Amino acid sequence: MSTLVKARGLTKHYGALAALDKVDFDIEEGRIVGLIGPNGAGKTTALKAILGLTDFDGELDVLGHDPRKGREKMMREVCFIADVATLPRWLKVAHAIEYVEAVHPRFSRTRALHFLERTKISQASRVGQLSKGMVTQLHLALIMAIDAKLLILDEPTLGLDILYRKEFYSNLLNDYFDEKRTILVTTHQVEEVEKLLTDLMFIHNGRIVLNDSMEGVSEKYAEVLVNAERVEQARALMPLHEREVFGKKLFLFEGADQAKLRDLGEIHTPSIADLFVAKMKGEVQ
């Protein structure tokens, strides 16, 4: 397995604010990585650094290139979908296909048309005539028709209804992703990507506070719903977080002894959302 993105001491300041504070991480080939964090945590800055859209300090290697120096060659194998549509409203769908075909050597018109055939998008339509969901479908069709190694998604389904969101991720997983492609996604709708991810990173105040595979998360973190008589016993095991559910206490543990946890109640793997809340609360204490 090869490393597509390698960051060491990645740092970015906006005045006195450290948007990225000596960040280290690797992204391997054939993985779907979720980069999750609150607003202002450094997610977008990290993506901009990877895409060569901002300067930075430290070391960053993307597909064998320093994004500050080799962005032109790097972007031949990298695609990006932003949180807002970037296609001009006056542009016709047919002309969008022609343009991408002319400028990108790895674009397949046949593949793009194949994706669009499954939508209600007409090649004669202008982008301004399409709904937000249809614009996202068009954008995705153009991107999936490019034979890229790394796809970066920044809140790609923002503002879409649940049907379009489900379809977006289904198309992405079934028609684009394979063991040679890698996806890096940021989203606040973590429940929708939870079953897709192979790896998880949490970022807060410019620092990575969790970086693990989903298998590792399942092994290290556990939730237990505890009856009132065992609450103090649970607290003695130093939980990462606790909250009340239906009159009982739900404790989230990191690296705790599984045998001791089984004495407290039934063990479950926490959702990404619950783990995120626990980690963020721990960071601000």
Phi, psi (degrees; rounded to nearest 5) at 13: -115, 140
Tell me if 135 sits within 8 A of 127, measured CB to CB: yes
Q: In a structure prediction context, what are the per-residue pLDDT tens digits for the chain, which is 285 residues long?
A: 699 999 999 999 999 899 999 999 999 999 999 999 998 899 999 999 999 999 999 999 999 999 999 998 999 999 998 866 678 899 999 999 999 999 998 999 999 999 899 889 999 999 999 988 888 889 888 988 998 999 999 888 877 788 888 888 888 888 788 878 999 999 888 888 888 999 999 999 999 999 999 999 999 999 999 988 999 999 999 999 999 988 889 999 999 999 999 999 889 999 999 999 998 876 544
DSSP 8-state class, residue 175:
I
Q: Please tell me the predicted confidence (pLDDT) of residue 133.
A: 83
CA dist 50 and 43 (Å) reads: 11
CA dist 163 and 157 (Å) reads: 11
Q: Please tell me the predicted confidence (pLDDT) of residue 285.
A: 43
Joined together, the tokens standing for residue 160 give: 């879409």
Q: Please tell me the predicted confidence (pLDDT) of residue 1.
A: 65
Q: Please tell me the predicted confidence (pLDDT) of residue 144.
A: 86
Segment (H or E) for 115: helix 109-116
Q: Please tell me the predicted confidence (pLDDT) of residue 284.
A: 44
DSSP calls for 218-243: HHHEEEEEE-GGGHHHHHTT--SEEE
So where are the chain's domains? 3-205, 216-284
Q: Please tell me the predicted confidence (pLDDT) of residue 176.
A: 80
CA dist 33 and 197 (Å) reads: 6
CATH class of 3-205: alpha beta
Phi, psi (degrees; rounded to nearest 5) at 118: -90, 5
Residues with Cβ within 8 Å of residue 33, at least 6 apart in sequence? 27, 182, 183, 184, 185, 197, 198, 199, 200, 201
The closest of 280, 217, 225, 276 to 248, measured between CA atoms, is: 225
* Separation in Å, CA 280 to CA 18, 25, 34, 206, 285: 18, 19, 16, 13, 9
Joined together, the tokens standing for residue 115 give: 């994706």
Per the listing, tokens 């068009």 go with 138
Q: What sign for the dihedral angle of Cα 57, 83, 139, 27?
A: positive
Q: Which residues pair with 226 in a beta bridge?
A: 249
CA dist 181 and 241 (Å) reads: 36
Tell me if 276 sits within 8 A of 202, measured CB to CB: yes
CA dist 50 and 34 (Å) reads: 15
Per the listing, tokens 């400028």 go with 103
CA dist 96 and 88 (Å) reads: 9
Phi, psi (degrees; rounded to nearest 5) at 238: 55, 65
The closest of 125, 97, 126, 95 to 110, measured between CA atoms, is: 97
CA dist 36 and 72 (Å) reads: 28
